[in-house]
Amino acid sequence: MRDGELEAAVREVVCSGTGSLDEVGGRFDCLDVAVSPAVVRRVIVDSCSERSDSVRSLLRFLSWCWSRNPGIGG
């Protein structure tokens, strides 16, 4: 999967807003996405601009990112 397709797939999981933290994390794990500050930034910016009700989903995404890369938050 190319980078753009991968980011689109991650955004789809974030914006769907369904599932528990473990379920969402499992979907991210299946995508085999590499967590990087750039990916996190793009997903947050894109998700926030697409949907205003995606706060819980964004928190799940950030929690999953931090579990994979504890230094990602700064």
| CA gap 53, 43 in Å, rounded | 15
What digits encode the pLDDT tens for the residues 32-49?
Answer: 877 778 777 777 777 666
Band of residue 74 on the pLDDT scale cut at 50, 70, 90: low
- Hey, CA dihedral for 10, 23, 72, 69, is it positive or negative? negative
CA 28/CA 10 separation, integer angstroms: 7
pTM of the prediction? 0.62
Query: b/e map of 9-45 (b: 16 or more CB within 10 Å)?
Result: bbbebbbebeeeeeebbebbeebebebeeebbeebbe
Q: Which has the higher per-residue pLDDT, 28 or 2?
A: 28
Does residue 52 have a pLDDT over 60? no
